[in-house]
Amino acid sequence: MFTKPKNIETAFQQIRLFCLVVIGFAFVFSGYMAYESHRNIAAAQEKIYILASGKTLEAFASDRKDNVPVEARDHIKAFHLAFFTLDPDERVIQANITKALYLADGSAKRLYDNLKESGFYANIISGNISQEITVDSIALDTRNYPFYFRCYGTQKIIRTTSIVTRDLVTEGWLRNISRSDNNPHGFLIERWNTIDNRDLKVENR
């Protein structure tokens, strides 16, 4: 007579335990899924897709401090390419110099003004001279702020009769400024100075 109620009570306890286990598992699973979803959303927000030449390229966002050396070297390289790449065309010269002067302080502007006053750019145009530069390496010290750098490059001056190859070594300091369309890296070159610019060789054409 009492065996049946005992069996019912035992079965009820087992069912209740099973339900509690299932509910507990559901809570754990829901929490895990919420965590994974949040992590995946955060990871997706760090991805940037760039369309270049009809191809989609994936980039990743990161803190600036992780990219300071890379961005700083690219800033220095961009400045030197813009400042020293010249063709016998006044508009090309002005466009490149304008781009360069957004990346540096008055030290670059003073050199530009001195070269312009001495007739350097007029000679480039009248003599059909082209000038180009290859940045070989950039030494950068990020341990102290502003960041000191030294840029090593090779300069070529192409005339109608010859090609002059020069060694180019410059130095300066980088400080942080706001990013803009004209200065995407957010650095400014200060106290820029040419250390060496001697001829290495002259080739007749």
In a domain, 20, yes or no: yes
Is the torsion defined by CA of 174, 177, 181, 185 positive or negative? positive
In a domain, 142, yes or no: yes
Residues 175 and 76 grouped into a single domain: yes
What pLDDT, in 10s, does the model give residues 118-171?
Answer: 999 999 999 999 999 999 999 999 999 999 999 999 999 999 999 999 999 999
pLDDT of 194 > 80? The answer is: yes
Q: Report d(CA 188, CA 98) in Å as an integer.
A: 14
Tell me the pTM: 0.70
Q: Provide the domain limits for residue 41.
A: 3-47
**In this structure, are 73 and 125 located in the same domain?**
yes
Share of residues in the chain with pLDDT > 90 (%): 66
54 or 177, greater pLDDT:
177
Same domain, 67 and 141: yes
The DSSP H or E segment spanning 57 is: strand 55-60
Answer whether residue 18 shows pLDDT above 60. yes
Residues 18 and 76 in one domain: no
Domains held by the chain: number = 2
Domain-embedded: residue 58: no
For residues 79 and 155, membership in a common domain is answered with yes
Band of pLDDT at residue 12, cut at 50, 70 and 90? low
Contact 96, 124 (CB under 8 A): no
Q: Using CB atoms within 10 A of its CB, is residue 102 exposed (0-12), middle (13-18) or buried (19+)?
A: middle
Position 104 scores a pLDDT of 97
pLDDT of 26:
81
Torsion angle (degrees, nearest 10) of CA 26, 31, 33, 36: -160
The CB density around residue 199, as the number of other CB atoms within 10 Å, is 11
Task: Provide the pLDDT for residue 2.
Answer: 46
- For position 24, what pLDDT does the model report? 81
What is the predicted pLDDT for the residue at 3?
55
pLDDT at res. 66: 62
Same domain, 7 and 85: no
pLDDT at 155: 95
CATH label of the domain that carries residue 159: 3.10.450.230
Query: What pLDDT score does 88 carry?
Result: 94
**Within a domain: residue 52?**
no
Q: What is the pLDDT of residues 32-76, one digit of tens each?
A: 887 877 776 655 555 565 665 555 556 555 555 668 899 999 999
